[in-house]
Amino acid sequence: MGAGQSVAVFGAYGHTGRFVVAELAARGFVPVPSGRNAQALEELAGEYGLEARVASVDDPASLDRALAGTVAVINCAGPFASTTGPVIEAALRARIPYLDVAAEIEANLDTFAQYREPAREAGAVVVPAMAFFGGLGDLLATAAMGDWATADEAHIAYALSSWHPTAGTRLSGAVSRERRGDHRLRYRGGQWERRTDAAPTLEWTFPDPVGRRPVIGEFTMADVVTVPQHLSVSDVTTYMTTEAARDVVAPHTPAPTATDAAGRSDQTFLVDVLVRSGGAERRATAGGQDIYAVTAPLVVEALDRVLTGRTKAVGVASAGEIFDAPDFLRALAPHITLDLHPRKETA
Ligand SMILES: NC(=O)c1ccc[n+]([C@@H]2O[C@H](COP(=O)([O-])OP(=O)(O)OC[C@H]3O[C@@H](n4cnc5c(N)ncnc54)[C@H](OP(=O)(O)O)[C@@H]3O)[C@@H](O)[C@H]2O)c1
């Protein structure tokens, strides 16, 4: 439990930030809501009786004030192309851990490339993509690998019952597309490839009750950044059910709406991970409700482990690298269903 430690949440009044603030409070931390809109911050802070701290990525001193006296910062403000660098630098100045929920692969790659050395030299912990995309799949892939040191392929297939995107998801997607130009990215043979052809469509057999479903292959998400940072796997591929892939880009798909007391939408998810080495396969699968809501227990569990020294790395590290993956996944039990398929290895 948080035992009253103050944790800054940048982008606190966004859809995901609100879930993170609620989860922090539920686990005994004192969230310090921060962001650039004073009125939205005050309204959120008022709901919980918290102190709001207005800060802008263009004003480093305001970020220093936002982080003063806190034990860590969680960055939920996306598009992350604009926020990651300034907030990481403020965390390094404040000598506190930094975690974010970024699912923009260019921003995720920048974090590893630009802050690996400074963070390691400072003995600081920076965990990017500690969220549904980038975090959960990486933990599942790491758990599925088990005692394998290398694998030929990692496949992470997402079955979303629908995908009603938030404004932040739409904006982040637009920023990523702009940065990528006419290309799409995939990870093959241990390196990134820029492609101009259409992503493949195929079918993926998910565990029951989802079953066999059409998916877009090479639907490259943050896990394709986080997994190869620490696992020796030549080909890493993510897949998305076709209907969800259509939903997220369609201009009139509505934003998510709350259907339960916790504010979760009725969206359900299954993340099915398969790793392959020679002729052998290992799997790990997780299911749950609402990809935005489940990001809160993921990032707050990560924060708790960082603050209590349950870590295996310093510097910039992805979830599977820094945490004991099976133990972390089991700790999420109230929020996800989990099948680590311990005896289903096939050769
Ligand atoms: N990896 C994952 O699985 C995962 C899960 C959930 C969310 N995300 C990502 O998290 C981000 C937020 O998503 P959301 O659902 O919370 O969206 P949202 O409801 O639109 O909230 C976005 C938040 O970011 C803030 N923000 C954006 N740009 C900012 C900037 N330059 N400076 C300060 N604040 C800024 C917004 O503040 P203003 O209103 O002032 O603009 C708002 O508070 C998106 O990039 C989304 O893709 C990823």
Residue-level pLDDT, tens digit, the chain, 347 residues: 677 999 999 999 999 999 999 999 999 999 999 999 999 999 999 999 999 999 999 999 999 999 999 999 999 999 999 999 999 999 999 999 999 999 999 999 999 999 999 999 999 999 999 999 999 999 999 999 999 999 999 999 999 999 999 999 999 999 999 999 989 999 999 999 999 999 999 999 999 999 999 999 999 999 999 999 999 999 999 999 999 999 999 999 999 999 999 999 999 999 999 999 999 999 999 999 999 999 999 999 999 999 999 999 999 999 999 999 999 999 999 999 999 975 455 55
DSSP 98: E
* Strand duo 150-160 + 268-277: pairing: antiparallel
Domains in the chain with CATH codes: 6-130+297-310+313-321 (3.40.50.720), 132-291+328-339 (3.30.360.10)
Give yes or no for residue 237 CB within 6 A of ligand 1. Answer: no
DSSP conformation class of 53: E
Rounded to two decimals, the pTM is 0.97
Helix, strand, coil in percent for the chain, rounding step 5: 40, 25, 35
Residue nearest to atom 35 of ligand 1 (CA): 77
Which residue has its alpha carbon closest to ligand 1 atom 6? Answer: 292
Spatial contact of 207 and 285, defined as CB atoms under 8 Å apart: yes
CA dihedral 100, 104, 105, 107 (to 10 degrees): -60
Q: Say whether the peptide bond before residue 79 is cis (omega within 30 degrees of 0).
A: yes
Pocket probe for ligand 1: among 19, 83, 166, 265, the residue whose CB has the most ligand atoms within 8 Å is 166
176: Cβ below 6 Å to ligand 1? no
Q: Which residues contact 183 (CB under 8 A, 6 or more apart)?
A: 194, 195, 196
- Best mutation site among 44, 84, 169, 294 for ligand 1, i.e. most ligand atoms within 8 A of its Cβ? 169
Q: Do the bridges between strand 72-75 and strand 6-10 make them parallel or antiparallel, or are there none, so unpaired?
A: parallel
Probe ligand 1: pick from 9, 10, 34, 36, max atoms within 8 Å of CB?
36
Query: Could you give the CA distance from residue 275 to residue 267 in angstroms, rounded to a whole number?
Result: 26
